[in-house]
């Protein structure tokens, strides 16, 4: 059901529907709380959806991280765990899967993505260096800053415009990047921080042409490229769908080609790879690998488990293989687009084009009367929960945090509320319920007031901050 998909199931207008390439074998009951219980729960949570208890949530679209459903093959892998402290057979399976599907030489397992971000940042960043990248991600940038670096955004301008229909809004602006290189000097740039389907931009992809151009530019200045491969599989789907010359190619071959233009990658396997916890760092350069392999024993665990159980590494190796299947990726992304197109058809402002893992509601346009200093995206997440028990996440000024130099709020151009879809978990009917709830809040938007922050933790404040209604 690509771009012009029908508004409801069954309205197929001369074409045949797709369906998910799986059937449901086990279910987990969910219940909706009463409006009074929801009000008590969100007040108790300080109007922060991260602080809600999951049993108070009806449909949980907080994140697609660690929330996907494993297959029967992955669950059977969980019984094949080799729980040896050192040299677990499951580690070698994982290493083989990363090499085969992502193409890198050396693999270091980590407990999740930020574990790998920590290692690569500590291995490569010195005090005072600059790390250019295609828009920040919260944990990624923090690890770069804690290691002494400064992140500089070099994504194309279209990424900051929710209405721009650019097909590859995740692209690096190569001119902006070259300007940064010339300003600070190539030796002051340890690597480019490149992300597939840029999360904070709305799940927007990077084209193959862009990564090729980036490789050429970086080769001229001898700069390395490290990839945040967290949602790279979903990125490859957009290349397959939209980029000239790549239409007949498999996701598997696109993934290998894309990664081949980079020097290494970190991964939160909790997303694309269909496991509840896990990550890795992969590197081609043997010297950098040795540093990372040494650091992992300090922060994560021995280099053949890195904070994971043997069974978890087995499920992850299987998940990687399942994640690159073309029919899986297509139905995954199309479910996200089904929700997005439904909202757009009711003139609810969302980031366009709809991205790979989530629908991002443009909270600035949704609540034009709430200034950004009163957290419109946080407000929308709270209102949505109050309306229907649907949990979403703020991706705006609370997530952006404060500038480490000035201590002021960073006001990002994008002030978004993210409806994030776990993989293989919810049905189209759940998407209809979510869409109708967003519509109900939209219809009552004029009477909604903003929030004030009453508690602010030092790091990654959005996770634990508390708010009050104004």
Annotated active-site positions, please?
A: 85, 137-138, 228, 271, 395, 462
The 190-229 site mask, x for binding ligand F0G (CB under 6 A), equals: -----x---x----------------------------x-
230 is an interface residue for ligand F0G by CB under 6 A: yes
**Please, which contacts does 447-450 make with residues 24 or more away whose CB atoms are closer than 8 Å?**
448/367, 448/370, 448/379, 448/383, 449/370, 449/374, 449/379, 450/367, 450/370, 450/371, 450/374, 450/375, 450/376, 450/379
Q: Which CB atom, from 113 or from 202, has the smaller least distance to ligand F0G? A: 113
Which residue lies nearer to ligand F0G by CB, 113 or 190?
113
Phi, psi of 151, rounded to the nearest 5 degrees: -85, 135
Q: Which stretch binds ligand F0G (CB under 6 A): 68-76, 88-96, 107-115, 291-299?
A: 107-115
Sign of torsion over alpha carbons 329, 318, 136, 467: positive
- DSSP 3-state of 78: helix
Cβ neighbours of residue 298 closer than 8 Å, sequence gap 6 or more: none
Among the listed residues 8, 47, 49, the one whose alpha carbon sits nearest the alpha carbon of residue 390: 49
User: Does residue 113 belong to the site contacting ligand F0G (CB under 6 A)?
Assistant: yes
Binding segment for ligand F0G among 22-30, 109-117, 173-181, 440-448 (CB under 6 A)? Answer: 109-117
Those residues whose C-beta lies under 8 Å from the C-beta of residue 303, and which sit 6 or more positions away, are 108, 109, 293, 296, 297
Q: Of 270, 332, 364, 430, which one interacts with ligand F0G (CB under 6 A)?
A: 270
CB of 1 or CB of 124, closer to ligand F0G: 124
Give SS3 for 363: helix
CA 444, CA 371: separation in Å to the nearest integer? 18
Single residue of 112, 304, 331, 392 touching ligand F0G by CB under 6 A: 112
Structure tokens at 150: 């400064």
Q: What separation, in Å, do the N-terminal and C-terminal C-alpha atoms of the chain show?
A: 42
Q: Closest CB to ligand F0G among 58 and 280?
A: 280
Select from 30-38, 135-143, 280-288, 347-355 the region that touches ligand F0G (CB under 6 A): 135-143
Residue 35 Cβ, how far from ligand F0G at the closest point, in Å? 27
Query: Is there binding between residue 60 and ligand F0G (CB under 6 A)?
Result: no
In the bound state with ligand F0G, the residue whose beta carbon lies nearer, of 63 and 417, is: 63
Instruction: Give the residue with the Cβ less far from ligand F0G, 426 or 442.
Output: 426
Told to check if 279 binds ligand F0G by CB under 6 A, we report: yes
Cα 405 from Cα 402, distance rounded (Å): 9
CB of 399 to ligand F0G, least distance (A): 10
Query: Site residues for ligand F0G, window 331-350 (CB under 6 A)?
Result: none
Sheet with 224-228, side-by-side order of all strands: 106-110, 279-283, 264-268, 224-228, 191-195, 130-133, 150-153
Binding flag, residue 139, ligand F0G (CB under 6 A):
yes
Q: How far is CA 258 from CA 108, 251, 353, in A?
A: 20, 10, 22
Minimum gap (Å) between residue 22 Cβ and ligand F0G: 23
**Would you say 353 and 167 are in contact if contact means Cβ atoms under 8 Å apart?**
yes
Q: What is the DSSP letter of 422?
A: P
* C-alpha triplet 68, 70, 74: angle, nearest 5°: 150
Residue 449 CB, shortest distance to ligand F0G, in Å, is 27
Q: Which stretch binds ligand F0G (CB under 6 A): 32-40, 137-145, 153-161, 325-333?
A: 137-145
The C-alpha torsion from 160 through 164 and 166 to 168, rounded to 10°, is 30
Q: How many residues does the chain have?
A: 470
Q: How many residues belong to the site for ligand F0G (CB under 6 A)?
A: 15
Among 47, 136, 137, 151, binds ligand F0G (CB under 6 A): 137
Q: Interface residues for ligand F0G in 397-416 (CB under 6 A)?
A: none
Among all residues, whose Cβ is closest to ligand F0G?
113
Min dist CB 331 to ligand F0G, Å, is 21
Cβ atoms of 9 and 341 within 8 Å: the answer is no
235 is a contact residue toward ligand F0G (CB under 6 A): no
Of 130, 204, 268, 374, which one interacts with ligand F0G (CB under 6 A)?
268
Residues forming contacts to ligand F0G in the complex (CB under 6 A) are 63, 65, 112-114, 137, 139-140, 195, 199, 228, 230, 268, 270, 279
């Amino acid at each position: 059901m690509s771009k012009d998909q029908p508004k409801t199931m069954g309205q197929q207008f001369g074409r045949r529907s797709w369906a998910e390439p799986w059937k449901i074998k086990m279910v987990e009951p969910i219940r909706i709380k009463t409006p009074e219980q929801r009000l008590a729960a969100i007040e108790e949570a300080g109007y922060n959806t991260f602080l809600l208890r999951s049993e108070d949530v009806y449909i949980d679209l907080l994140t697609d991280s660690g929330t996907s459903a494993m297959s029967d093959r992955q669950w059977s892998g969980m019984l094949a765990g080799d729980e040896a402290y050192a040299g677990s057979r499951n580690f070698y399976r994982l290493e083989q899967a990363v090499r085969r599907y992502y193409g890198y030489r050396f693999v270091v397992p980590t407990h999740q993505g930020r574990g790998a971000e920590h290692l690569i940042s500590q291995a490569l960043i010195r005090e005072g260096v600059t790390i250019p990248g295609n828009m920040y991600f919260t944990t990624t940038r923090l690890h770069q800053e804690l290691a002494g670096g400064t992140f500089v955004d070099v994504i194309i301008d279209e990424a900051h415009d929710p209405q721009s229909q650019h097909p590859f809004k995740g692209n690096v602006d190569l001119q902006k990047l070259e300007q940064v290189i010339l300003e600070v000097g190539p030796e002051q740039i340890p690597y480019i921080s490149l992300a597939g389907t840029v999360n904070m931009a709305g799940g927007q992809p990077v084209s193959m042409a862009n990564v090729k151009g980036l490789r050429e530019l970086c080769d001229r200045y001898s700069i390395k490229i490290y990839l945040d491969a967290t949602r790279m599989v979903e990125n490859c789907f957009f290349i397959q769908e939209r980029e000239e010359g790549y239409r007949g190619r498999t996701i598997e071959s696109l993934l290998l080609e894309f990664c081949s233009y980079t020097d290494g990658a970190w991964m939160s396997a909790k997303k694309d790879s269909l496991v509840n916890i896990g990550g890795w760092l992969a590197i081609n350069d043997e010297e950098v690998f040795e540093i990372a392999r040494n650091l992992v024993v300090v922060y994560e665990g021995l280099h053949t488990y890195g904070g994971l159980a043997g069974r978890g590494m087995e499920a992850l190796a299987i998940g990687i293989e399942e994640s690159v299947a073309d029919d899986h990726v297509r139905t995954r992304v199309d479910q996200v687009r089904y929700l997005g197109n439904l909202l757009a058809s009711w003139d609810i402002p969302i980031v366009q084009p709809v991205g790979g893992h989530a629908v991002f509601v443009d909270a600035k346009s949704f609540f034009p009367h709430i200034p950004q200093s009163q957290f419109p995206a946080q407000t929308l997440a709270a209102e949505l929960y109050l309306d229907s028990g649907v949990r979403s996440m703020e991706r705006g000024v609370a997530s952006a945090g404060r500038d480490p130099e000035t201590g002021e709020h960073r006001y990002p151009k994008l002030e978004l509320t993210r409806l994030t879809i776990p993989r293989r978990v919810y049905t189209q009917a759940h998407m209809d319920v979510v869409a109708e709830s967003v519509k109900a809040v939209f219809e009552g938007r004029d009477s909604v007031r903003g929030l004030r922050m009453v508690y602010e933790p030092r790091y990654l404040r959005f996770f634990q901050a508390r708010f009050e209604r104004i």
